[in-house]
Amino acid sequence: MKLAESLQQYVLLCEKIHHLLQEENRILQSTRKPPGAAFLARKSELLPRLDAARLAIGLGRAMEPAEVDSQTSMIKRLQKKMLTLLLLDRENEKLLLKCSMQADALRSASRPSAHLVSRAYSQAASAAA
């Protein structure tokens, strides 16, 4: 496969990933819950395709080093797209962490009974004396 074709396929795959990450972002912002298993399966299906596309570009660069110069604008466009994807994925990770932390905080922050509070104060007072 030629380098130009590999780059074009990589651009199309990056577009699919971008749409998927935007969908994940909307899910996280609207529901405040992690996406379901079906969504995660769709997301994990793209990883092997991304690796294969990356390898195809590497092979294209190795087999056609003269063509790299003619594809500079496409490569720069891909670099910008990858940066956009990384930033969006980072935002999604922050939202996911925030959602997870809120759920854990709600579960573990139960209100202590008055008896436990008074016993804790009396034990601290007797230890200080």
Say if residues 18 and 85 touch (Cβ distance below 8 Å).
yes
Tell me the residue range of the domain where 72 lies.
3-128
Spatial separation of the C-alpha atoms in residues 69 and 4, rounded to whole Å: 11
Predicted pLDDT at 104:
57
- pLDDT at position 84 is 95
Tokens of 26: 């909307």
- Split at pLDDT 50, 70, 90, the class of 70 is confident
pLDDT on residue 17 = 94
How much is the average pLDDT of 98-113?
69
- Our count of domains for the chain comes to 1
How confident is the model at residue 65, as a pLDDT?
78
Residue 20, C-beta contacts closer than 8 angstroms, at least 6 positions apart: 42, 43, 46
> What pLDDT shows up at residue 44?
92
